[in-house]
Structure formats: structure tokens, C-alpha cells
Amino acid sequence: MTQAPPPVGYNPSAVHMQQPAQSNPLAIVSLICGIVGCLFITPIVGIITGLMALPKAKVAGGKGMAIAGIVLSILWIIGGIGFGAATYWGVNKIYSMVADTAKQPTITFINHLVDGDIAAASKMTDIREDQLKPISDYVKPLGKCQDVTIETPNLQMKNGITTASFTGTATFEKGTKHIEAMVVADGSGVKVQSIELK
């Protein structure tokens, strides 16, 4: 029985030297996490898997993917910290501006009502006097308003008019009440546009 001749270019030693191509799954995971970058979770996973993939990259390859995953993950974390800091600064700035615009005028307005001085309160608002009387009757037994804590500030500025609205807590001599108020400031002064205590 005769054997067929080997195919042209056949090298038996080359068959034994070929090895299956290896991959580096950690490098792939690192790159994917670096691209997705959702919150702080995937960038942290991207950095960890990228660092774990680098020593294996000599054998399995994927060094470029691991480095790219690490770099992208670090950029996501830096961007997240920057966004968080900017948001925190912005909220504090709004809170401060609302407090500067609204807090003291609101306390003064309430204390006019506590004193029963509807005429003085009327000068600080566009609310009709017949609507102020029930508010005055409600706050008189509470004593003087000592402080207003602003919890959810909202600030709008348009055409030289600043509108500051907020919810929070009004602290009186004899207890606290939830407050919702809106104060408008323009070139002529500051007015309490609306107020609700409950």
C-alpha cells in the first residue's frame, strides 16, 4: 500500500510548534469597563482588571487594551469627581443666594404678623391684607420667629429680578412649622410673594 505524498509546503516540525492563539480576557474586561465608565464601579473594575492583565500580557497579549482600559477608567473617575464637586459647589451657591435674598426678609415679615402689625407686613408683600389676617392669627401663639432653615432652595434671575423660592422649617419661640415661601427682589426692594406655614 502506497502512501500519498505529503502536501506541498508540509513541514512536520512546524505542526508541533504551532500553539493555539491565547487571549487575555482581563485586558478585554478592562477596556470594556474603561469605555462604559458607569459611576465609580466599572472604572474601578477597569483599573483592577487592567493591572491584573499587564503581567499576563507578555504571554497572552492585550497590553495595549489593558493600558487603554486603565487610562480610560482613571479619566472616568477624575471626570466623576469633577462633576460631583461642580454640582456640590452649584447647589451651595444657590442655597447661599436664596438664603441671602429670602431668609431675613421672611423672618421680618413673619414677625410683623406675629406682632399683629398687618400694615407693616403689607408693605413687604403683594398679598392682600384680608389674607394676611388669618396668617397673623395662626402665628401669634407661636411667638417670635427666630430662624428659617432652607431645605430646598430654588433661584431664578431674569431681567434684573431675583425670585427665590424655598421650603424649609421656621423656628418659633414655641415650636417649629414647615414653611413654603417665595421672595422677589428687584431694584425697588424685597417682597414676600407667597408664604405658607403648616
Q: Residue 178: beta bridge partners? A: 169
Q: What is the pLDDT of residues 167-181, one digit of tens each?
A: 889 999 999 999 998
Q: Could you read off the pLDDT of 69-101 as tens digits, one per residue?
A: 889 888 888 888 888 777 667 666 655 666 666
Q: Say how many Å lie between the first and final Cα of the chain, rounded.
A: 106
pLDDT, position 6: 63
> What is the predicted pLDDT for the residue at 177?
92
Cα separation, 153 vs 162, in Å, equals 13
Looking up cell 425670585 gives: 163
Identify the pLDDT of residue 141.
93
**Is residue 132 within 8 Å of 122, Cβ to Cβ?**
yes
Residue segments in the chain with a per-residue pLDDT below the cut of 70: 1-22, 39, 87-88, 90-101
pTM of full prediction above 0.85: no
**pLDDT score at 87:** 67
Say if residue 123 is exposed, middle or buried (CB neighbours under 10 Å; 0-12, 13-18, 19+).
exposed
Which pLDDT belongs to residue 91? Answer: 60
Name the one residue in this structure whose C-alpha cell is 472616568.
Answer: 76
**Among 190, 128, 188, CA closest to 119:** 128
pLDDT of 115: 92
